[in-house]
Amino acid sequence: MPFRVFCIVLALFLCINALTVYFVSHSIRHVIVATLAGWLLLQVAYFASVLFLIWRSSCDQRDAQRSEHFRKRRTVRHRSQEYN
């Protein structure tokens, strides 16, 4: 998810959350606590998703390097058997 879209979704969620908490509790203190908790939760989720994407990308690169190494090794072994 692009960062700009994330910021828009974050702002929309926080506004809806703040309005909902205010209409339910009629307390500004509850609104502030709930909004900060929601903001923190979404920030942690975004950070975790970025870490997951980096991890998945590194796994894909590692797999590609292993398959390339295996293909080269198999070609060398095949050629050495032809010369015998």
Domain boundaries, the chain: 3-83
Quickly count helices (H) and strands (E) in the chain.
2, 0
Q: pLDDT at residue 81 above 70?
A: no
User: In the prediction, which pLDDT does 43 show?
Assistant: 87
- In whole angstroms, give the CA distance from residue 50 to residue 43: 11
Summarize pLDDT for 15-38 with one digit per residue, the tens. Answer: 999 999 999 999 999 999 999 999
Of the pLDDT bands very low, low, confident and very high (cuts 50, 70, 90), residue 2 is: confident
> What's the confidence (pLDDT) of residue 80?
56
Between residues 54 and 65, the one the model is more confident about = 54
DSSP 1-43: --HHHHHHHHHHHHHHHHHHHHHHH--HHHHHHHHHHHHHHHH
Instruction: Give the pLDDT score at 82.
Output: 57
